[in-house]
């Protein structure tokens, strides 16, 4: 008995920075085995190094840099197929990745599905997560707890779903957006990504809106990709984007004043602990760390405008 044909897929790859990782990913997608024809779309998000015209892939060239969600929306507008596969440009995939993911995802459709994502060192990233709560973000902000973050309890306390391990298939609150399969019709029904998010939190916002339509999110730990991560921006910008996106998310879904107060209190705790560490001889700058954390909380614009300007 022959297998049922694969559901056709449109693949959207946002590009910003060095075009070599995205070019390698497009070549790997063109050589996929068993997945059937793929519609490939690269979105050049006003990159300082443009993505070259590529045979076999449509290239959308945005006039301004709008961030991950805006780029994906631009690419998804061209989608011709029922499923939309969103891939970060710095992923490495196996020759059967798409077919493997489609087979594993089929029993759950319509659903948002992510494979296991491995860091460049082979360490699994925390793909499946709980919907963000103030307690998760305050716990993460408390640097004195960093020494225990290898423990499952601490992972749960910062919002990671520790059921999501290699080989597991688990419905979760949301999955990270580095490699995400979404029904195209459902994506369009909720208006795609909210473009007020520049970087970070756009995928959880999308999945909350999809959940309201009865579309679940599922972690597929039987399929894996490798993710380099953070290649097109520096760490300071990434941290500011993270903080600003969480404030914007709280404005939509949570308690923004409680979040701000909780993170400010955590900064005071960090200052006190770092002062004790400094007195004990640890080479740490308590006031410098506190000023950095305070600026992260105060400087970002909630609508993302400062983040857009930072990368233009």
Q: In this structure, are 35 and 184 located in the same domain?
A: yes
Q: In this structure, are 206 and 306 located in the same domain?
A: no
Q: In this structure, are 168 and 23 located in the same domain?
A: yes
Whether 150 is in a domain gets the answer no
Query: What is the band of 242 on the pLDDT scale with cuts at 50, 70, 90?
Result: confident
Residues 45-73 pLDDT 10s: 999 999 999 778 999 999 999 999 999 99
Q: In this structure, are 45 and 65 located in the same domain?
A: yes
Whether 69 is in a domain gets the answer yes
Q: Helix or strand or coil: residue 175? A: strand
Q: Which of 227, 253, 269 is the last residue of a domain?
A: 227
- Above pLDDT 90, what percent of the chain? 79
In the chain, the number of structural domains is 2
Q: Which of 227, 244, 273 is the last residue of a domain?
A: 227
Whether 180 is in a domain gets the answer yes
Q: In this structure, are 198 and 257 located in the same domain?
A: no
Query: What is the band of 44 on the pLDDT scale with cuts at 50, 70, 90?
Result: very high
Q: Which of 195, 210, 227 is the last residue of a domain?
A: 227
Half-sphere exposure of residue 14: CA atoms within 13 angstroms, side-chain side: 25
Whether 157 is in a domain gets the answer no
Whether 23 is in a domain gets the answer yes
Q: In this structure, are 123 and 212 located in the same domain?
A: yes
CATH number at residue 112: 3.90.550.10
Query: Residue 260 belongs to what domain range?
Result: 235-311
Measured CA distances, 84 to 41, 77, 100, 264 (Å)? 11, 11, 15, 39
Q: How far is CA 208 from the centre of its chain?
A: 14
Whether 159 is in a domain gets the answer no
Q: In this structure, are 122 and 267 located in the same domain?
A: no
Residues 164-199 pLDDT 10s: 999 999 999 999 999 999 999 999 999 999 999 988
Q: In this structure, are 186 and 251 located in the same domain?
A: no
Cα distance between residue 248 and residue 177, in whole Å: 18
Q: What would the mean pLDDT of 103-112 be, rounded to a whole number?
A: 97
180 contacts 113 by C-beta, under 8 angstroms: yes
Q: Is 162 exposed, middle or buried (0-12, 13-18, 19+ CB in 10 A)?
A: middle
Q: In this structure, are 285 and 212 located in the same domain?
A: no
Q: In this structure, are 34 and 170 located in the same domain?
A: yes
Whether 293 is in a domain gets the answer yes
8 contacts 83 by C-beta, under 8 angstroms: yes
Phi and psi at 228, nearest 5°, equal -70, -55
What rounded mean pLDDT belongs to the chain?
A: 90
Q: In this structure, are 206 and 245 located in the same domain?
A: no
Q: What would the mean pLDDT of 262-287 be, rounded to a whole number?
A: 94
């Amino acid at each position: 008995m022959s297998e049922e044909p694969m559901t056709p897929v449109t693949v959207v790859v946002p590009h910003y920075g060095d075009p070599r990782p995205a070019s390698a990913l497009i070549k790997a997608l063109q050589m996929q085995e068993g997945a059937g024809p793929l519609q490939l779309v690269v979105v050049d998000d006003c990159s300082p190094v443009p993505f070259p015209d590529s045979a076999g892939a449509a290239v959308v060239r945005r006039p301004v840099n709008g961030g991950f969600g805006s780029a994906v929306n631009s690419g998804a507008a061209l989608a011709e197929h029922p499923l939309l596969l969103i891939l970060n440009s710095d992923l490495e995939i196996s020759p059967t990745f798409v077919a493997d993911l489609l087979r594993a995802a089929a029993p759950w459709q319509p659903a948002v599905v992510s494979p296991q994502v491995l860091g460049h060192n082979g360490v699994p990233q925390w793909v499946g997560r709980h919907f963000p709560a103030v307690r998760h973000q305050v716990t993460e902000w408390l640097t004195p707890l960093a020494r225990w973050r290898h423990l499952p309890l601490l992972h749960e306390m910062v919002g990671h779903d520790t059921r999501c391990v290699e080989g597991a298939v688990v419905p979760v609150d949301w999955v990270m957006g580095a490699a995400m399969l979404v029904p195209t019709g459902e994506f369009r029904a909720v208006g795609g990504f909210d473009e007020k998010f520049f970087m970070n939190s756009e995928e959880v916002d999308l999945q909350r809106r999809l959940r309201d339509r009865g579309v679940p999110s599922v972690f597929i730990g039987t399929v894996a990709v490798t993710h380099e991560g953070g290649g097109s921006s520096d760490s300071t910008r990434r941290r500011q984007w993270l903080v600003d996106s969480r404030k914007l998310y709280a404005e939509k879904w949570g308690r923004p004043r409680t979040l701000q107060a909780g993170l400010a209190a955590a900064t005071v705790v960090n200052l006190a602990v770092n002062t004790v560490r400094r007195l004990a001889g640890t080479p740490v700058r308590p006031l410098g760390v506190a000023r950095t954390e305070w600026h992260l909380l105060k400087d970002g614009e909630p609508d993302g405008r400062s983040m857009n300007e930072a990368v233009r």
